[in-house]
Amino acid sequence: MKRENLRSIMQDAHRFIKITGINLSEALKKAWSVFKLKMQMTKGIVKFYFQKVDGSIREAYGTLALNLVPAINSSDNRKKNDTVQVYFDTEKQEWRCFKKLNLATI
């Protein structure tokens, strides 16, 4: 486990506490599940669920594996948002994102 990974997990957990007021234990569980999902997506296509803004649960198939995603346009200078997880939706063939806090544990 790299120090940067642990820092990212703790930053996410702290952000979850600030946003929702949940306790540290629950925030760390959520942060670890987001981290594990991200690591799985770097290896291949993963099925996961998250809660949409309207409250419904969405089933998604996504990846971050470099051999499965199209080339990224480097001219797009968007500001990084640490509250969302970006992934390539293999069903829609588009880049999508979800709020890390809304990752469902089913």
DSSP 15-41: HHHHHH---HHHHHHHHHHHHHHHHHH
Confidence of residue 80 (pLDDT cuts 50, 70, 90): confident
pLDDT tier, 100 (very low <50, low <70, confident <90, very high otherwise):
very high
Domain that holds residue 50: 3-102
Do the beta carbons of residue 103 and residue 46 sit within 8 Å? no
pLDDT in tens, 3-26: 999 999 999 999 999 999 999 999
CA distance linking residue 40 with residue 54, whole number of Å: 27
Structural domains counted in the chain: 1
Q: Give the pLDDT score at 70.
A: 87
Residue 6's pLDDT is: 96
51 band by pLDDT with thresholds 50, 70 and 90: very high
Prediction pTM value: 0.90
